[in-house]
Structure 1
Amino acid sequence: MKNRIIFSLFILVFLCFKSGIAQTPANPTYVIVHGAWGGSWAFKKVDSLLTAKGAHVYRPSLTGQGERVHLANPEVGLSTHIKDVVNMILYEDLKNIVLVGHSYGGMVITGVADSLPERIAQMIYLDAFVPEDGESVFAQGRTPDAMRPLIENGFLVPRWVKPDQAPPKDVPHSVKTFTDKISLKNPKRLTIPTHYILTVDKGKDPTKDDFSTQADKARKYKWPVSVLEADHNPQWSAPVPFVNLLQDIVKKKIP
């Protein structure tokens, strides 16, 4: 009888773990979506730091970016990138995830949340866009005229990447992803606990930051907003403070 009880408890714990119920703040599952021009490689250090602390980390590279640069073409749009992450979550069978989006990645995770709200325990926007239904990147202060010098053959080409630079490096990004308007139809996405991280350079007024308007959108939704002293890419400029902040946020939200 005693052995049966022990076996039953073992099965129960196993099933809970498989279903994602066993996740705790000590071992959350992060899905980190990079920004424009980048790739999953940009968050390699953050992945290592989180994994060392017991977390599980997934870093999808969006179509045409990072190691998937060979798939780049001007027809790659926002919906393609949303589907990249949706399918990774489904095929890896991930549940109760912490979904993190950096910069342009905010557009992507918003679309993912609209598609799979039941899979997401928490969302974190990292100096990222917070789109409303029907908005594009260019409709949120990144106008086509301002970006015109970067546009070549349907791609936004980063000025800071040199022709002879070896990987890992930023790569051209499809303009269509910036002109596509996001379609948001599922109100359940707004029930997901969400936090916004605004990165601000040392000594700079947060209200003058390029993404301060996005942080204001977060406040409109009554999401907590944290200010992290770092440039736009804390995964490189402040990886340890960034990871510590992530952990603090997650500990307060995951049951």
Structure 2
Amino acid sequence: MTIVLVHGAWAGAWSWRDTARLLRKKGYDVYAQSMTGIAERSHVDPRTVNLSTHIADITGLLRYEELENVLIVGHSYGGMVITGAVDREPQRIAGMVYVDAFLPKIGQSLWDIAGEERVEMQKKAAMAHDGGHSVPRPNVPPMPPDLAAKWGPLFTAQPIGTMSEKWVSVRPEAQRTWPKRHYILCTAYKGSPFHAFADEVKGQPGWDYSEFDALHDVVRSHPQMTADRIEAIAKGWGITE
């Protein structure tokens, strides 16, 4: 089975490093790449990067690596990206997993669904950071001091266009026949926007649902638990080969 792991805002492929290593040890073919303008690709001018850029990053990975029967997993902002990528390449995807992730509808941007208070905070932070071109990572939700010391230096500012650009579907008619989908909510992250997405999909046709008793950084803080859950979902769907 092939697994594609898509990171969240301000992060990079590094945030999946331990989870990916565990899944590879189990024999799975795992891909994780940093998207344009972030992490080791943060040298790219943020004014040239938007949500479409990141969707193209992951779509390109699927196409040029000629990946098939893929379980694609998105964390946080990565939910925006996997939604757009699967919309473009649905025939390559066997299942989708949203880990405490945004779940856009056609025509929505991340800012349309993130909440007004969060949006205003990010706009102000972007203006102070570099004149409004990219958003530095806020300390919300806060991390324990030891993890903040470990990961803090690795986070980079997020190009603002990835948050403001609306997702445009290239095949809206295909929304009715999407692959299997599973939503995982991190219940310890109180007051997050992800609770609303979880409530939206629970019990809906085509959706499975589970929870982590963990904070939002679960893919970094609990790689074994994350890898085990991804494998369990794949086995439950019969797509481990």
TM-score range, shorter chain: 0.7 to 0.9
CA distance in 2, matches of 1:119, 1:221: 23
% identical equivalent positions? 34
> What does residue range 53-92 of structure 1 map to in structure 2 within 5 Å?
53-92=26-65
CA distance in 1, matches of 2:87, 2:153: 31
CA RMSD of aligned residues (A): 2.1
Unaligned runs of 5+ in 2: 140-149
Do residues 187 (structure 1) and 163 (structure 2) align?
Answer: no
84, 100, 104: which one aligns with 1:131: 104
Cα gap change, 1:146/1:221 in structure 2, threshold over 3 Å: closer, same or farther? farther
Range with greater deviation from structure 2 (111-120 or 176-185): 176-185
Do residues 217 (structure 1) and 196 (structure 2) align?
Answer: no
Aligned partners of 1:38 and 1:170 also within 8 Å: yes
Range with greater deviation from structure 2 (135-144 or 48-57): 135-144
CA distance in 1, matches of 2:109, 2:67: 28
Cα offsets for 1:166-222 (capped at 9, x unmatched): 996110111111111111233335430010011122xx77xx443101112323743
Range with greater deviation from structure 2 (114-123 or 67-76): 67-76
Normalised TM-score (structure 1): 0.80
82, 89, 96: which one aligns with 1:116: 89
Do residues 148 (structure 1) and 148 (structure 2) align?
Answer: no
Larger Rg: 1
Aligned partners of 1:34 and 1:40 also within 8 Å: yes
Q: Show the counterpart of 2:75.
A: 102
Do residues 172 (structure 1) and 153 (structure 2) align?
Answer: no
185, 188, 191: which one aligns with 1:198: 185
CA distance in 1, matches of 2:180, 2:151: 39
Q: Show the counterpart of 2:144.
A: none
Which amino acid is the alignment partner of residue 188 of structure 1? A
Cα gap change, 1:224/1:36 in structure 2, threshold over 3 Å: closer, same or farther? same
CA distance in 2, matches of 1:168, 1:176: 23
How far the C-alpha of 1:146 sits from its partner, in A, is 3.3
Q: Show the counterpart of 2:228.
A: 244
Cα gap change, 1:119/1:166 in structure 2, threshold over 3 Å: closer, same or farther? closer
Bigger relative CO (Cα 8 Å, ≥ 6 apart):
2
CA distance in 2, matches of 1:113, 1:187: 13
Cα gap change, 1:43/1:29 in structure 2, threshold over 3 Å: closer, same or farther? same
Cα gap change, 1:166/1:49 in structure 2, threshold over 3 Å: closer, same or farther? closer
How far the C-alpha of 1:75 sits from its partner, in A, is 2.8
Cα gap change, 1:110/1:220 in structure 2, threshold over 3 Å: closer, same or farther? farther
CA distance in 1, matches of 2:151, 2:74: 26
> What does residue range 1-20 of structure 1 map to in structure 2 within 5 Å?
none
Cα offsets for 1:85-137 (capped at 9, x unmatched): 00111110100100111100000000011100000000000100110000111
Cα gap change, 1:241/1:83 in structure 2, threshold over 3 Å: closer, same or farther? same
Range with greater deviation from structure 2 (179-188 or 121-130): 179-188
Aligned pairs, number: 220
Do residues 157 (structure 1) and 136 (structure 2) align?
Answer: yes
